[in-house]
Amino acid sequence: MEITKIILAGNPNCGKSSLFNQLTGLRQKITNVPGTTIENKVGRLQMGNVNIELIDTPGTYSFNPKSLDEKEAIKVFFEKPEPSTILYIADAANLKRNLFYFSQLAQLKIPMVLVLNMLDISDFKGFEINADRLEKELGVRVFKINARTGVGVDLLKKALGEEQFVPHYQFGSADDHTHESHFDSITKLLNKTTTLKSKRELISNKIDAWATHPILGYLMFLCVLLVIFQSVFTLASYPMDWIEGGFSMLSEFLSNALPDGWPKRLLVNGLIAGIAGVVVFVPQIAILFFFMGLLEDTGYMARVSFIMDKMLRGLGLSGKSIVPLLSGAACAIPAIMSTRNIENWKDRLITIMVTPLMSCSARLPVYTLLISMAIPSTLIFGFINLQALVMLAMYVLGTVAALIAAVVFKWIIKHDIPSYFIMELPVYHVPRWKNIWQTCWQKSLSFITEAGKVILLVSIVLWFLASYGPNNTSGFSIQESANLEESYAGHFGKGIEPVIKPLGFNWKIGISLITSFAAREVFVGTMSTIYSIGDEENFDQLRDKMNKDTLANGEPVYSIAVVLSLMVFYAFAMQCMSTLAVVYKETKSWKWPVIQFLYMTGLAYVGSWVVFNLFR
C-alpha cells in the first residue's frame, strides 16, 4: 500500500494539534498556550488506497531555528523518506505574520496545502478572505476550517489523498529565507486577496486590561489560585469520604472473611492499606487538573506568562520559563521537557534546575493529609477556608524558593548570551469541555497507574520488613506499635532517627521519607501501611490513626511544629527518581541531576529544621 508522508506545520498556537487530533483521532494535548507541542508527533490515517503518515511539528515563526523544539520542527523536512506534502495551518486573523513561515517553506519546492483556521476571529475583526483568489495566486489548494469544532475538516481529509501542488507565487529571492522582500510580497498578496470591512475591538483586549495589569494582574492570579485550592478542599470532600469509607468496608470485610495467616495480613494491611492511602486523593488531583486545563484552554495562562516576564527576567529566567514553572504544578517531568522552547541555554538550564521546587500533584496528597490533621477547617471573612489558605501558602513557598534558587544559579552559571521573550497572546476562547474532561481523566488515571506501580511494590516490601524482625523468622501479626519497633523496618527507622530527630521526625516518619524518595506520593501509602500493621483491628481513617499516635511522654507525635516541618521538607526535597532521569536526558549529563538532588535535599533539611524550631 502506498504511504504518503505529510508534515503539519505552522506558527505557535495556530491550531495544529487540534487539527492533528481531528484528522488522526489521537488525543495529543492541546491548549490555548503557545509552545505546548515540544516534539514531533506521528499519527496515521487512510484515504482509499493511500496510507498517510501525518507528522505534527512544534510551532515556529521562521525556518531559522533557535530553540530545541524549533530544531525538531525543521529537521523533519530533511529526513528520509522526503515529505510528499506540507499541510500548513495558518491563523486567518493574523495572516500576514503566519504566511512568512509559509513563504520560507514554499522555497523547499515541496507540494503544499494552505489551511485557514480561526476564521471566526478574523470575521469578527472584519477581515474578508477570498480563498478562491488566494488559491489562484499561490497555486496551491486552500481550505477554510475550524479546528476546534471540526467544521471543514472532512473536506480537507478527503483531499489529502489527492495530488497537491508546489506554490508558484514568488516570495522574495530563491536563496533567502529571512529578507524583508518576503514581507513585501506577502503584503502585495494580501492586498489582492483580503479586504477589511470593519474594525472591531476583541473582548480579549478588554479583559487584558485587568489580566495583564502590572498590579491587578498579580492580584487576579492569586485570587484564581485561591479559588482552585478552595475547590480542592470543598468539592473533593464528599468523594474522598466515599472512597475512604469504601476501602474501610473492604478491609473489614476481608479481615473477617479470610482465614488468619500471612496472605490475609499482606492483602489487608499491606496492599489495600497502601493503595487506599493514595487513591483517596484522586478527587483532589482531578480537580487540580481540571482547573489547570481550564486556565490553559481559555488562554489565561498565556497572560500569566506575560505579566511574569519582567519579574522573571531580573531573576535569571525568561518569560518563557513561566510555562514550565506553572506546568510543574501538575508534574515536573513534562514541565522540564517543555523547556525545549527556551532559546537561551542558561535560561533553559536554570528553569530545569528550579522547576521541581514548584509544588506538583504528587505533593498534593501529602499536603492534604497533613493540613487536614493540623489545620482547622474554619472560615475567614465567612467564606475563605483556612485550609485552602495554608495550601496556597505551600504553593507560594515553592514558587518563592524556585525564584530564589534561580537567582543563585544566575550567579553560578556563566553564559553571557542575551535572551529575549516574544510571545503572542492568544484570543480568549470558550473552553473545550470535552478536551478538558479527557485531559482530566487521562491525568488522573496516569497518576493512579504510575503511583500504583510504585506503591504496590513498596507496600509488599514494607509489609515484609514491618512484619518480620531479626529475632523472628516465622512471621507474626504485630498488634501494638511497640512491637513494630522490633521489625526490620523498625530497626531501620531507629537507625536513621538521630539524623531526622532535629527536624521533629520519629522513626516511622523516617521510613516514609526514605520510601518516598522514589515518588513523593508514596509517603501516604507508606504511612497507611505502617499504621495499618500497627493497629490491625482498627479501620479508622489514616489521619485519625496518626492524630492518636503519641510519644513516650504522652505528647502527640504530629504536633503543629512537626506537621509544618514535614510539609516544608516535602515542599523542597527532590523525591522523584523519574524527574532526575528526565533532567539527565535533557541536559545530557549526570552533573546537573546530582547537583539538583543535593541542593534540594539540603534545602529541605535546613528549611524543615528552621520551621520546627520556630513552632515547637
Whether 106 maps to a domain, the answer reads yes
CB 579 within 8 A of CB 356: yes
Whether 82 maps to a domain, the answer reads yes
Residue count (the chain): 616
Cα–Cα distance, 570 to 548 (Å, whole number): 22
The total of structural domains in the chain comes to: 1
Q: Kindly list the distances between the CA atom of residue 150 and the CA atoms of 41, 117, 119, 333, in Å, as whole numbers in the listed order.
A: 20, 11, 13, 31
Whether 297 maps to a domain, the answer reads no
Which pLDDT value is given to residue 394?
Answer: 92
Which pLDDT value is given to residue 472?
Answer: 56
Q: Which candidate, 318, 310, 301, places its Cα nearest to that of 215?
A: 310
If one counts every other C-beta atom within 10 angstroms of the C-beta of residue 498, the result is 10
Q: State if pTM tops 0.85.
A: no
Q: Residues of the chain whose pLDDT is less than 50?
A: 32, 473-482, 539
Which pLDDT value is given to residue 529?
Answer: 78
- CATH, residue 39: 3.40.50.300
Whether 554 maps to a domain, the answer reads no
- Rounded to whole angstroms, the maximal C-alpha distance in the chain is 90
Domain span at 28: 2-196
CB 520 within 8 A of CB 272: no
Question: Could you read off the pLDDT of 22-81 as tens digits, one per residue?
Answer: 888 766 555 545 555 557 788 888 877 778 888 888 888 888 877 777 787 888 888 888
Whether 242 maps to a domain, the answer reads no
Whether 158 maps to a domain, the answer reads yes
Whether 534 maps to a domain, the answer reads no
Which pLDDT value is given to residue 473?
Answer: 47
Which pLDDT value is given to residue 493?
Answer: 83
Whether 157 maps to a domain, the answer reads yes
Which pLDDT value is given to residue 138?
Answer: 92
